[in-house]
Amino acid sequence: MHTRRNFILSMTALGTASAAWACPVVPMSEGSVHSILMLNAGCGDSNTPNVFEPAILRISPGDSVTFVPTDAGHNAASKRGMIPEGAKAWNGAVDEELTVEFTVPGVYGYLCLPHYEMGMVGLIVVGDDLSNLPAAKKVRHPGSARKAFRALLKELEV
């Protein structure tokens, strides 16, 4: 009978255990349902603590996103001033799997409250309407969140 311990030992023997454990697989988007993982470290980069994977997600209006607490101690919350007008804000509890439906097109900034200042932030782009992007860029952020949001927002301009 295979146990988790036996599985780990066999993976180690094959030399692949570290790769399997270091980089969790982001669940594939299935139609209108997508997943974002909440992680203690970036995949393949342990020097990048507390991240959402993927950091930028593009979806269609009406799609849903499930924030998955892959590692403990994280939540997902919308950032005031970084969601389109008329969109509903959200604030999940720590360690809660949270599903949010996105019906209003635009750019949505979100964060992990316990790790916001450390730069644990992300963006969801719903549809092709980026009209709230200038307003989102004007929002102020503390600590490393400023640099992290700036880099993500810059990626949308490409």
- The predicted model scores a pTM of 0.81
Token pair for 79: 């950032």
Integer Cα distance of 154 and 3 in angstroms: 46
Radius of gyration of the chain (CA): 17
Closest residue by Cα to residue 67 from 79, 55, 78, 76? 76
Integer Cα distance of 20 and 26 in angstroms: 12
Residue 53 bridge partners (DSSP)? 37
Domains and CATH numbers, the chain: 24-157 (2.60.40.420)
In the block, residue with structure tokens 């959402």: 52
Q: What is the pLDDT of residue 28?
A: 54
- CA–CA–CA angle 52, 64, 34 (5° rounding): 50
Three-state DSSP at 83 gives coil
**What are the Cα distances from residue 142, in Å, to 34, 77, 152?**
28, 16, 16
Give per-residue pLDDT as tens, 28-72: 566 689 999 999 987 776 677 899 999 999 999 999 999 999 999
The segments of the chain whose pLDDT lies below 70 read: 1-31, 45-46, 158
Closest residue by Cα to residue 51 from 79, 73, 82? 73
Three-state DSSP at 133 gives helix
Three-state DSSP at 24 gives coil
